[in-house]
Structure 1
Amino acid sequence: MVISRNFQGLFESLNETVVLSLPKLKENAIKINFTGSHEYKTVYKQEPLLPFAASEVFNAPIHRWRRLTALDENCKAAYEITFDVKGSNLDFRPGDTIGIIPQNSQSDVDNLLEHLNINDLADINYTISTDAGKKGVKVPPHIPVESTLRHILTYCVDLRGVLKKLFLLSLSMHTKDASEKRILEYFSSKEGSIAYTTHILNERICLLDILSIFTSCKPPIGLILEYLPRLLPRPYSIANSDHENSFIKVCFSVMDIGNNRKGVTTGWLEDIIIKHDNCDLEERMKNMNISNVETKIPIYIRKNINGFCLPESLDTPIILIGPGTGVSPFIGFLEERRNIQKKNPETKFGYAWLFFGCRNPKYDFIYEEELNNFLSNGVLNELTTSFSRCGNTESGYVQEAIKQNSEKLAKLILKGAHVYVCGDIKKMAPSVREAITECIATYGDEVNEPEEFIANMIKEKKYLLDIWN
């Protein structure tokens, strides 16, 4: 066996005499029977519900797209896609999100089928059953009881899903090479907990990686379907107003998740728009109309549980904090204010202050032109920018800019301003909350407990979050 260099040191350090404490493993109970029919159909015992659905699914064609960031190897690709939703039931307002129902790449599916030597079964209808002699055994609800393997592997299971220890142990039972088997058992064991976290979880190792590294591992397809999680829809903030109700815009960065892979949904969308673009690289930065593309993207409106929307009273001040693609819902907010302004020029709006951050204004200041237009027509009163890769700026991150404007921000918040934060849940959102709490602590003389004050704002939906992991 040739062990991947990622695991070479781990293998050499393993003592073969050590007895591993392994979890109890249940025997695979899913049975797949191929009918021999090529007549395609998909039947669920009970079709799984869409998370937070507020509408039916609509298969939306892509009307237009544009690249928002520069074509530079040091700059993450970000795009805006406009979906044509004419004739749909997708009613929305600024601040809402859509769910995009993704699919796994054809190459990933083909590689898995080839590794398991089941290419010839991929498009044959099957029926699924469970061992009648085993109690409590059920077919996972996201697995159709009738379909084809290609359909399931493309649309139903997350090939990039987290590998739990029981799954790794089950895979080890179908691994012929003794060294490979030993490493998989070690990851599954109590003794290998740190190695599991370091080498599997932190490195985002998925089933596809395991099968490419441990080449003698060839599990039955039933075992894979039993353990792989559901391929869930991905939420994206709507980046436009609903005044026309004919188009929905979203923007996204193409995620690099390591191991030479892009995000399931963002990589899929990028492949679609570039596949149908015959222009050179420079032309890709311009607006592209691809309404003739046959591919349609299944989308639906998600319930706005957090109430992430403009205040009912238009004269309420708003503080918008959205670095990177986190600015997208605020483009919808500001478009809405502009549309109201056009219809009723005498409308009095509350003060609108936007904090935006990116790496370098030359490369990834997305929506710069739109934001400047909002400033010029008074829809946006103040724009504060932060650039983390420019040494000549006052602040590198939005939380630093917030602290630099503490007094003015505190006064606005104490006058009833609503605060909106959109972006990363791990670093940005907590840092912003800490910065705003510090503002209140320093300049909110009448506030005795700043942290409690912010907590109450959240309860009263005056401090609103649209955050993701």
Structure 2
Amino acid sequence: MLDLIESLLIEYAPTIIVVVLIVGTYLYMNRPPPPPPINRKIKTPAAPKPPKVQKSSSEKVLKIFFGTQTRTAEDFSRVIEKEAKKIGIPCEVVDLETYDPNDLSSEYFAMFLVATHGEGDPTDNAKEFYLWLTSEDRPSTLLANPAVPFTVFGLGNKTYEHYNAVARVFDRRLEELGGKRVFERGEGDDDATLEEDFLHWKKNMWVTVCEYLGYELKSSEDDKFTPRFRMITLTEENYDVNNSYIRVNPPKIKPKLSNNGSVIYDIKNPYLATVVENKELHSSESDRSCKHIEFDIGENLSYLVGDHLGIYPVNESALVEQLLLRLGVDGDTKFAMVPHDKAGSVIEASVGPMTVRKALSEVLDITNPPRKSILRTLAEYTQVEEEKKRLIRLASEEAADEYNEFIKHDFRTIGELLQNFPGINPPISHFLEFMPRLPARYYSISSSLNATPGRVTITSVVVNFNTPTGRFHNGVCSTWLANLKVGDKVPMFVRESHFRLPSHYTSAVASDKPAPPMIMVGPGTGFAPFRGFLQEIQHRLSTKQISEQFDNILYFGCRGSNIDYLYKEEMVVYQQSSSLKTLTVAFSRETAEKTYVQHKMASDKEKIWSLISNGGYFYVCGDARSMAKSVNQTLIQIIKEYGSKDDNAAQQLIEDMQKSGRYLQDVWF
């Protein structure tokens, strides 16, 4: 037997060796990965305990979700991303619009930076997630097994009544669904100290989050700007649509399609509308300007009265040329910014392909005062020690008053800042990346699509003023719009609003019941949405969709009947057609004592109370800082006097009207 085994081993030895080698190689190549390195922890006793259930290393990614209308929340998210990577925390910045909320329960850590706009509304890109989050169908244990850790920072404006409402809803609902709040919600005020609020929250947030996740906190004071993109300079030779390197209009974002296959235009994919009318609404006696601008939108955009029109403007050419000269670059240089980790296809370019001049004109925000993060970055590009110290000082937390005085109060642009610090010399590729993007501007639509098919109208006051530095500042969008000619193209999209007519006026089914009363308060361009309302009512009256059984009143304000009485002739027509029952105008410059809309309201106290107590709707449109607050206080006094209520009861009545959709505001600051 032994002889037989020995002979078999000798005969098949080569085969056995080969098999052993193959099996050994297979086992080696498919060995399990080594365990992840253990991070050191800093000692902070107050920090909560980490989740008990461990997830695989591939899932341990901190997600930084943003909801933004002007890109500020996205910019803040990038700051968080940069610091997280320095600490060593794997992270990813996520646009809420692109995220499947059903994946939320499996997240390692969720950080939300969300803005609030309008009457406590989520931003366009956060709307679907917001609706999912607030749905009553969500089980209370959705985020509880294990508890998903989270923290929230909100971007809001205290001028508005619903300050940071979206962030507060996110914070509350995430906890209600079983999530674990690791760090308290932060709130920033865009009317005053938004960036300071964010920096303060972020500084304290990292202490707790690092302890919770088991990472060593590292200082970010010496952080340097780290480009995420590289600039590809293009020549006439390779600037060709047929070249795989270049596409003139790269499909960065796939357009949304409706059920019938038509393109849906939105903030990321605006429609290029044609100007069909641009006329002055003020008389020659006015020292100001207000434009009625009408666009041809065909069947490409749809809107309801009360909605907003988002418009992407173009920066003033003189400012662009001054900046090109200061930066020492050729505005005709063709380029594209592509990710460092990509081969170079501009299909995924963050900016371009375009010329540098076009980027400064249409992509970068070069007129708003630069944030502290920009000053901190600019300090890296000067060899002048005094300039570096001054910039770092202005960007510091302790120099808030100096920053507010020198930058915000004086309303300095990036161009002025570069003139004040001649030693700053950033590479154009870095400048194109770290500068904020030019956001869309929003206008209350002043037309009815049913009354004017294929058309949309805005009423735009031209903004300009002298800054404390002596520079004459032109409002970016209003100045650009004012100079447009018939035939010019404008990129635009519609943003839905809650500023709606009562359903009686818009229902497809005619009703014999009396329409609810309406009180509309809109001085100056605050009349814009009410023009749309009245056009819609007039259209429905003429087509017999509604009867004349309604009572509405408009309080309009301007300086003088022969100066800035917007749409004066139209208002007469609305009254004659019974679209508008009562028109009350406050002229602030025609008497020794200035008269405003709230004063006219005070003269009609009994009438207003009668309309309100009979189910009336109350609308306010215009300036949020002064007018809207004064109107609100006047209404409270009317309710107290004629409703026999104290301050608390009067305020409660207004809050009840707001909740039921009978007190609506479309205000700005």
Bigger mean CA deviation after superposition, 26-35 or 435-444: 26-35
Partner of 1:98: 309
The 5 Å alignment of 1:2-13 reads none
Match of 1:256 among 450, 455, 464: 464
User: For the structure 1 residues 446 and 244, does the alpha-carbon distance in structure 2 shift closer, same or farther, using more than 3 Å as the test?
Assistant: same
Bigger mean CA deviation after superposition, 180-189 or 230-239: 180-189
User: For the structure 1 residues 42 and 187, does the alpha-carbon distance in structure 2 shift closer, same or farther, using more than 3 Å as the test?
Assistant: farther
Partner of 1:409: 608
Match of 2:491 among 276, 295, 298: 298
- Separation in 1, partners of 2:337, 2:495: 32
**2:489 partner amino acid:** K
Q: Does 1:239 align with 2:446?
A: yes
User: For the structure 1 residues 353 and 317, does the alpha-carbon distance in structure 2 shift closer, same or farther, using more than 3 Å as the test?
Assistant: same
Match of 2:570 among 370, 373, 379: 370
Shift of 1:398: 1.4
The 5 Å alignment of 1:277-426 reads 290=486, 293=487, 295-304=488-497, 306=498, 308-314=499-505, 315-344=515-544, 347-392=547-592, 396-426=595-625
Shift of 1:349: 3.5
Q: Deviations over 1:330-371 (max 9, x none)?
A: 111111211222222981342111111122222111111211
**1:128 partner amino acid:** V
Partner of 1:429: 628
Partner of 1:265: 477
User: For the structure 1 residues 389 and 415, does the alpha-carbon distance in structure 2 shift closer, same or farther, using more than 3 Å as the test?
Assistant: same
Q: Deviations over 1:367-391 (max 9, x none)?
A: 1121122223322111122222332
8 Å Cα contact 1:91/1:245 also seen in 2:
no
CA RMSD after TM alignment: 3.1
Bigger mean CA deviation after superposition, 343-352 or 311-320: 343-352
3-state SS, counterpart of residue 299 of structure 1 = strand
Structure 1 gaps, min length 5: 1-21, 133-140, 274-289
3-state SS, counterpart of residue 334 of structure 2 = coil
Partner of 2:654: 454
Q: In percent, how many aligned pairs have the same letter?
A: 29
3-state SS, counterpart of residue 384 of structure 1 = strand
- Separation in 2, partners of 1:195, 1:310: 47
3-state SS, counterpart of residue 313 of structure 1 = helix
Shift of 1:261: 2.1
Q: Does 1:220 align with 2:422?
A: no
- Separation in 1, partners of 2:349, 2:305: 31
Q: Deviations over 1:160-197 (max 9, x none)?
A: 23422221122133234455444333322344221111
**1:427 partner amino acid:** S
Q: Structure 2 length as normaliser, TM-score?
A: 0.57
Q: Does 1:118 align with 2:329?
A: yes
Shift of 1:329: 1.0
Bigger mean CA deviation after superposition, 213-222 or 176-185: 176-185
Q: Does 1:75 align with 2:287?
A: yes
3-state SS, counterpart of residue 520 of structure 2 = strand
8 Å Cα contact 2:255/2:265 also seen in 1:
no
User: For the structure 1 residues 399 and 176, does the alpha-carbon distance in structure 2 shift closer, same or farther, using more than 3 Å as the test?
Assistant: farther
User: For the structure 1 residues 321 and 346, does the alpha-carbon distance in structure 2 shift closer, same or farther, using more than 3 Å as the test?
Assistant: closer
8 Å Cα contact 2:336/2:349 also seen in 1:
no
- Separation in 1, partners of 2:390, 2:662: 51
Q: Whose Rg is larger?
A: 2
3-state SS, counterpart of residue 119 of structure 1 = coil
Shift of 1:392: 4.4
Partner of 1:283: none
Bigger mean CA deviation after superposition, 257-266 or 415-424: 257-266
- Separation in 2, partners of 1:261, 1:329: 27
- Separation in 2, partners of 1:399, 1:52: 39
Shift of 1:130: 4.2
Partner of 2:318: 107
Structure 2 gaps, min length 5: 1-219, 241-247, 257-263, 343-347, 506-514
Q: Does 1:33 align with 2:231?
A: yes
Shift of 1:215: 2.9
User: For the structure 1 residues 54 and 224, does the alpha-carbon distance in structure 2 shift closer, same or farther, using more than 3 Å as the test?
Assistant: closer
Partner of 1:66: 279
- Separation in 1, partners of 2:463, 2:500: 27
8 Å Cα contact 2:522/2:557 also seen in 1:
yes
- Separation in 2, partners of 1:46, 1:232: 17
User: For the structure 1 residues 451 and 180, does the alpha-carbon distance in structure 2 shift closer, same or farther, using more than 3 Å as the test?
Assistant: same
8 Å Cα contact 1:71/1:77 also seen in 2:
no
8 Å Cα contact 2:639/2:645 also seen in 1:
no
8 Å Cα contact 1:316/1:417 also seen in 2:
yes
8 Å Cα contact 1:44/1:144 also seen in 2:
no
8 Å Cα contact 1:354/1:383 also seen in 2:
yes
- Separation in 1, partners of 2:396, 2:254: 35
- Separation in 2, partners of 1:272, 1:244: 21
Q: Deviations over 1:293-352 (max 9, x none)?
A: 3x2111222122x2x121112411111111110101111111121122222298134211
